[in-house]
Amino acid sequence: MNYGPNPNAIYPNEAIKSICYIKNVVTRSNIMIGDYTYYDDINGAEKFEDHVTHHYEFIGDKLIIGKFCAIAKGIEFIMNGANHRMCSVTTYPFNIMGNGWEKSTPTLADLPFKGDTVIGNDVWIGQNVTVMPGVHIGDGAIIAANSVVVKDVPPYHIAGGNPCKIMKKRFDDELIDYLLTIKWWDWSDRKIFDNLETLCSGDLGKIKDIK
């Protein structure tokens, strides 16, 4: 018996080619995606990597996205390779223009480095969102459309705007702590299937009855 779509398929529903399980189309070793996380883009969901910019292996940063995330079209993850030297008189990147200017090539130590960009599990990111280098977005968070995420977003919080700011918590602290403890996204396919009604219910208390 099937307990859901195949997490190793490119398109979970062959009738909807705008939704792609991006774990199965990424080619870069510095991008890591969890099962069931999808990108939705009618113009080519399978081209997700095109939306991860300035991402160079020699810099060493990673984009890490958890399971069951929903990412809408227009996403852009800007990675650390976009940074310019800020400790000098000018930020202009003379070196990449060549023709003798490469003598000003900065060392990696000269460039700002914010670390890995990490998106938790069960995160919903709206349309046309930009995520800046090194940002961490916690499990269960929601990012409003057209936001620019420049700082970390805690688990199960809603954030939006440019720059992105916390708008409110999705649930009270007790429920947030409980959800972070049970980590439903790590359940077996069968357990998720058997408890879909509870996971999708507006009666939040039902989640605590699951054994």
Q: How many CB atoms lie within 10 A of CB 23?
A: 20
Rounded Cα distance between 99 and 152, Å, is 40
The DSSP secondary structure of 37-61, one letter per residue, reads -EEE-TTTGGGGGGGEES--TTT--
Catalytic residues: 84
**What is the three-class DSSP state of 188?**
coil
Q: Report whether 146 contacts 128 (CB < 8 A).
A: yes
